[in-house]
Structure 1
Amino acid sequence: MLFSQENVIDQLISDNDFSGSIFVKQAEKEYKVSSGYANRVEERLNKVNTRFGIASGSKLFTAIAIAQLVEKKQLSFEMKLRDCLDVSFPHFDANITIHHLLTHTSGIPDYFDEEVMEDFESLWKQTPMYLLKSLQDFLPLFQNGEMVAEPGKTFHYNNAAYIVLGLIIEQQTGMAFQHYIKENIFDPVGMKDSGYFSLDRLPQNTALGYIEDDDGSWRTNTYAIPIVGGSDGGAYVTAPDMVKFWEALLDFRLLNESLTGQLLSPHVDVKDWVSYGYGVWINARKGRIVKYHVMGYDPGVSFHSAYYPESGYNMAVPSNHSDGAFDVMKEIEERLHLFDT
């Protein structure tokens, strides 16, 4: 057992009113549990293998896809945007590179600036979310915008940069982004329950995302997020599939050892003890890397997943509520003393 008392996580779930699933693994030891409703109207319960939206947690898939093309010599991290994508960006700096896009240091305008805009749903008042069916559909939201910083100067989390990366993948491979990820990441890993699904065609065993309104009532996020996920976020995964993903990445089954190392290297400092690699957050303590992790938040979605290199723990916590995943992961980390060594 990973926990000394079986009721520890039950109490944790209750205290946080958590709706989702939890999967924790270390070597051959596993702990898995689920809570809450996948469908509140039908009172259909979440299961450990329920599919959940993970919002920006899927940016790492985009970064790996780019690195795979680097491994095939189709791209390089220092290649300029203008040399690998035939799309007009009238006001973008000519020196923007793939590295800048991957590390949120490109300085391009974002279509949703999380540091300025609080309400993601307000975006769709002018551009209906049901029209955003392809990566190209996002271009009018930022394509003609002005630069907000010089490339390479400042870390500023940027969703549009990952839309651009997805467009690069599509142009370089001749495949729709979602198809590329399925064929080159999900299928090789055995993530058979994961994918990019349209909100109006969700497959069986998928949790609906729920938003709690001020009056305590709940509504789905059907009109609150893009209808289909893309290269900046929006994949659906199960907690067990996400654990499989980390194992495959760290076993060099998705990239060779050198490129895996580049992906997981701290490329830009974000704040004390926190850096960003390519599509992945990196936490350090006293000069040691203690955590690689991804996270995602959308209306009706909260997600955290991590690998802890010193202990070998691997964790996935997806939720179909707008919050909850962070608090659950933090308390599990404390219970397992993951940062005490």
Structure 2
Amino acid sequence: MTLRTLMSHTSGIKGSDECGYKEPLPTIDEALKSRDVKLKREPGKIFEYSEFAGFGICQLIIEEAVSSKFEEYMESDIFKPLGMEHTSYKNWNSNGKFATPYAGKSKPIEITPIVMNGGGGVSTTATDLARFVVELMDYYNNGNREMFKPQKNTQSVGGLYALGIIPRELKNGKIVYEHNGTLTGWNAQMAFEPVSKNGMVILTNSDKSYYMTYDLMEKWGERVIGEKVIDTQMKQISKMVFNIIVTLSMILLLLVAVLVIKIKRKSVILFEKRKTRYITSAIIVFALAALYYACIYTELPFKLLFNMQNYYLFTFFPLNFRGVNIILVFIGTFIIFRSRYSKNKF
């Protein structure tokens, strides 16, 4: 395992989230132990996003190398020299200085305390983050470009991965470097094309902006760089949802067609006196709809399965997922309507 494999998510270690810490917060090494972060495969062979763990280990190495806290080192040696006066890791007590994070359907939540700050958790402003992006472009144009080079065995549905940053090679020959940051209640995006010295940063305080940041990156690329900058993984998810919509639509049309044919042949008839089956079908459909809603639009699944609060599955779905809901409503309505028809015995 090396710093290179840790920063390119090919280190072979187990991933970890940053949810559920209680005061007093653990140290970085205590956090790595409590999350049971360990090697699970040979390093350098497979890309597997390790959430906070990989950069959490890098954070620990930096602390041992500079003999000070990672957060203090970043503030004194990175943020202050770059003029990032409103950037720090002091995010556990807002004191009115921070935006309120929102999860799910605009539910205000507390700021999640972060221990593995090497992998995220920095609090900043759009102006300060823009200064950081400007410095990255300067490093690209005047440095050795080491962090921008795609690393071995990092190919995945999300594309290639460099050292902590994602290169997107466009059809017009340009390369845009970008990365998204997501934590419950927050979404951020930065992207830049260093040759033309164009870049963008987005900071949001809502889970529901998960796909908006990618959409804005696409529009920025189209207008400024001359081509959409598309996150291939997000495209795959949207395509998968579209395929589900098409499949459900075909199932619904098939069910309707079969019923119409049976009605014309009088092999089924509408019964009006006995409505028990009709009511039972309605109860079952509404019960399934309630279960579906609980799984998709409440935090119940994440609480039960992962003991994670304020996570809602619907925020990870693209906008076209609304089509799935519409088709399911039609299918449910059809099932209730179909239950009023019975086989004609005569």
Give the TM interval when normalised to the shorter protein. 0.5 to 0.7
1:192 pairs with one of 73, 82, 85: 85
- Distance (Å, rounded) in 2 between the aligned partners of 1:110 and 1:305: 23
Is 1:332 aligned to 2:237, yes or no? no
Q: Deviations over 1:8-35 (max 9, x none)?
A: xxxxxxxxxxxxxxxxxxxxxxxxxxxx
The 1:287/1:162 distance shift into structure 2, 3 A limit, reads farther
Matched position secondary structure for 1:236: coil
1:172 corresponding residue in structure 2: 65
Structure 1: which amino acid aligns with 2:143? E
Q: Deviations over 1:100-156 (max 9, x none)?
A: 1111111011223xxxxxxx7xx52xxx344435323312234464x3321110011
Return the offset for 1:160: 0.8
The number of equivalent residue pairs is 224
Return the offset for 1:280: 0.8
- Distance (Å, rounded) in 2 between the aligned partners of 1:227 and 1:340: 33
Is 1:313 aligned to 2:198, yes or no? yes
1:257 corresponding residue in structure 2: 143
Superposition TM-score, scaled by structure 1 size: 0.59
- Distance (Å, rounded) in 2 between the aligned partners of 1:286 and 1:217: 38
- Distance (Å, rounded) in 2 between the aligned partners of 1:317 and 1:271: 25
What runs of 5+ residues in structure 2 fail to find an aligned partner? 230-346
The 1:273/1:176 distance shift into structure 2, 3 A limit, reads closer
The 1:131/1:333 distance shift into structure 2, 3 A limit, reads farther
Between 1:282-291 and 1:154-163, the stretch displaced more is 282-291
Q: Deviations over 1:310-331 (max 9, x none)?
A: 5421100010001322233333
Query: Which structure carries more strand by proportion?
Result: 1
2:47 pairs with one of 143, 150, 155: 155
Matched position secondary structure for 1:276: coil
1:322 pairs with one of 193, 207, 228: 207
1:105 corresponding residue in structure 2: 10
Matched position secondary structure for 2:119: coil
Q: Deviations over 1:188-232 (max 9, x none)?
A: 110011111132x225542121112xxx4512143xx33556111
Structure 2: which amino acid aligns with 1:109? K
- Distance (Å, rounded) in 2 between the aligned partners of 1:327 and 1:203: 32
- Distance (Å, rounded) in 2 between the aligned partners of 1:175 and 1:273: 35
Is 1:301 aligned to 2:189, yes or no? no
Structure 2: which amino acid aligns with 1:309? P
- Distance (Å, rounded) in 2 between the aligned partners of 1:329 and 1:285: 13
1:79 corresponding residue in structure 2: none
Return the offset for 1:183: 1.1
1:140 pairs with one of 24, 27, 33: 33
Structure 1: which amino acid aligns with 2:98? T
Superposition TM-score, scaled by structure 2 size: 0.58
1:85 corresponding residue in structure 2: none
RMSD, aligned α-carbons:
2.8
Taking the TM superposition and a 5 Å limit, the aligned residue runs for 1:217-296 are 218-222=107-111, 225-227=112-114, 230-252=117-139, 257-258=143-144, 261-268=145-152, 269-271=154-156, 274-286=159-171, 288-296=173-181
Query: Which structure carries more helix by proportion?
Result: 2
Q: Is the CA contact 1:263–1:277 (under 8 Å) kept in the aligned structure 2?
A: yes
The 1:338/1:221 distance shift into structure 2, 3 A limit, reads farther
Structure 1: which amino acid aligns with 2:118? S
Return the offset for 1:339: 1.8
- Distance (Å, rounded) in 2 between the aligned partners of 1:287 and 1:217: 39
Structure 1: which amino acid aligns with 2:86? D
Return the offset for 1:267: 1.3
Q: Is the CA contact 2:16–2:37 (under 8 Å) kept in the aligned structure 1?
A: no
Structure 1: which amino acid aligns with 2:61? I
The 1:248/1:141 distance shift into structure 2, 3 A limit, reads same
Q: Is the CA contact 2:59–2:116 (under 8 Å) kept in the aligned structure 1?
A: no
Q: Deviations over 1:257-315 (max 9, x none)?
A: 12xx1011111443478321111111112494521112111110111011123542110
Q: Between the two structures, name the one with larger relative contact order (CA 8 Å, sep ≥ 6).
A: 1
Matched position secondary structure for 2:117: coil
- Distance (Å, rounded) in 2 between the aligned partners of 1:109 and 1:219: 31
The 1:273/1:218 distance shift into structure 2, 3 A limit, reads closer
- Distance (Å, rounded) in 2 between the aligned partners of 1:228 and 1:155: 24
Q: Is the CA contact 1:311–1:338 (under 8 Å) kept in the aligned structure 2?
A: no
- Distance (Å, rounded) in 2 between the aligned partners of 1:289 and 1:129: 46
Matched position secondary structure for 1:267: coil
What runs of 5+ residues in structure 1 fail to find an aligned partner? 1-95, 113-119
Higher Rg of the two aligned structures: 2
Q: Is the CA contact 1:301–1:319 (under 8 Å) kept in the aligned structure 2?
A: yes
The 1:97/1:204 distance shift into structure 2, 3 A limit, reads same
Q: Deviations over 1:144-174 (max 9, x none)?
A: 64x3321110011112111110000000101
Return the offset for 1:251: 2.2
1:34 corresponding residue in structure 2: none
- Distance (Å, rounded) in 1 between the aligned partners of 2:221 and 2:63: 38
